[in-house]
C-alpha cells in the first residue's frame, strides 16, 4: 500500500496534536503505552487530516500578536456577558409573572469565514436573552426573549469586535 501524504503538512500537524492529546489523556509513560499512542494517532490523523485543518492563512507576527490580544479581551468580555445572561434568565424564571415577550428577528452579517460565523452564533446563544436558530449564508435567524435583548443585539457591538479579530 502506498501512502500519498500531501505536500502541505496538514497530516503532520494533526499527528502531533493527536499524540499530545493521547499523552495528556493517558498520562502514563510506559513503552507499550507510547507505542500504542503512536500507532493510534497515526491512524486517526491519516483518516481525518483534511477535517482537522481546513484552511490556512498567512499572517504577519505583529498582526498575530494584536489578534491574540483582542481574542483574550473578547474571552473576558464573553465571560461577563455569560454571567449577565444567567442572572437575567434567573430573574425571569423566578419572577412570578415571567416578564417575557418573545420574537424572531433576522439580520445580515458582514462576517465571511465559517469559523467567524460559528463564533458569532455561539456568542449570540450565550449573551442575554438571545439564541441563534439558523444561519443561511449571511442571514442569521435569532430568537429573542425580550425586545431590549433584540435591540442590543442589532446595535452590533459584538459583531464589530469579531470583525476586528477575524478580518482586516
Partner 1 sequence: MELIDFIVTALLFGGTFFFTTATLGLLRFPDLFTRLHATGKGDTLGVGLILTGLVIYLGLSPITLKIIIIMTFILLTSPVGTHCICRAVYNQGIKPWKRR
- Nearer to partner 1 by Cβ, of 11 and 123: the residue is 123
Dist CA 137 CA 90 (whole Å): 33
Closest contact distance (angstroms) between CB of 9 and partner 1 is: 25
Q: What is the 3-state secondary structure (H, E, C) of 37-93?
A: HHHHHHHHHHHHHHHHCCCCCCCCHHHHHHHHHHHHHHHHHHHHHHHHHHHHHHHHH
Closest contact distance (angstroms) between CB of 168 and partner 1 is: 25
- Nearer to partner 1 by Cβ, of 134 and 164: the residue is 134
- Nearer to partner 1 by Cβ, of 9 and 48: the residue is 48
Dist CA 161 CA 65 (whole Å): 16
Angle at 53 between CA 31 and CA 162, to 5 degrees: 125
- With H, G, I as helix, E, B as strand and everything else as coil, classify residue 141: strand
Element (H, E) at 112: none
* Interface residues toward partner 1, by CB under 8 A: 24-25, 27, 82-83, 85-86, 89-90, 93-94, 98, 100-104, 121-122, 125-126, 129, 131-134, 141, 143, 145
Cell of 42: 497515526
- Nearer to partner 1 by Cβ, of 50 and 122: the residue is 122
Cell of 47: 483518516
- Nearer to partner 1 by Cβ, of 53 and 88: the residue is 88
Closest contact distance (angstroms) between CB of 75 and partner 1 is: 11
Closest contact distance (angstroms) between CB of 30 and partner 1 is: 15
Closest contact distance (angstroms) between CB of 81 and partner 1 is: 10
Amino acid at each position: 500500500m502506498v501512502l500519498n501524504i500531501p505536500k502541505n503538512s496538514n497530516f503532520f500537524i494533526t499527528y502531533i496534536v493527536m499524540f499530545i492529546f493521547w499523552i495528556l489523556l493517558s498520562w502514563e509513560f510506559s513503552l507499550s503505552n507510547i507505542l500504542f499512542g503512536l500507532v493510534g494517532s497515526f491512524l486517526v490523523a491519516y483518516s481525518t487530516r483534511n477535517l482537522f485543518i481546513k484552511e490556512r492563512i498567512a499572517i504577519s507576527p505583529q498582526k498575530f500578536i494584536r489578534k491574540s490580544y483582542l481574542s483574550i479581551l473578547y474571552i473576558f468580555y464573553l465571560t461577563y456577558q455569560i454571567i449577565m445572561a444567567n442572572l437575567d434568565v434567573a430573574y425571569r424564571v423566578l419572577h412570578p409573572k415571567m416578564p417575557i415577550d418573545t420574537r424572531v428577528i433576522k439580520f445580515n452579517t458582514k462576517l465571511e469565514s465559517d469559523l467567524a460565523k460559528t463564533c458569532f452564533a455561539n456568542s449570540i446563544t450565550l449573551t442575554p436573552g438571545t439564541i441563534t436558530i439558523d444561519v443561511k449564508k449571511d442571514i442569521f435567524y435569532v430568537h429573542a426573549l425580550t425586545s431590549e435583548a433584540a435591540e442590543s443585539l442589532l446595535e452590533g457591538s459584538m459583531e464589530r469586535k469579531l470583525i476586528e479579530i477575524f478580518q482586516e
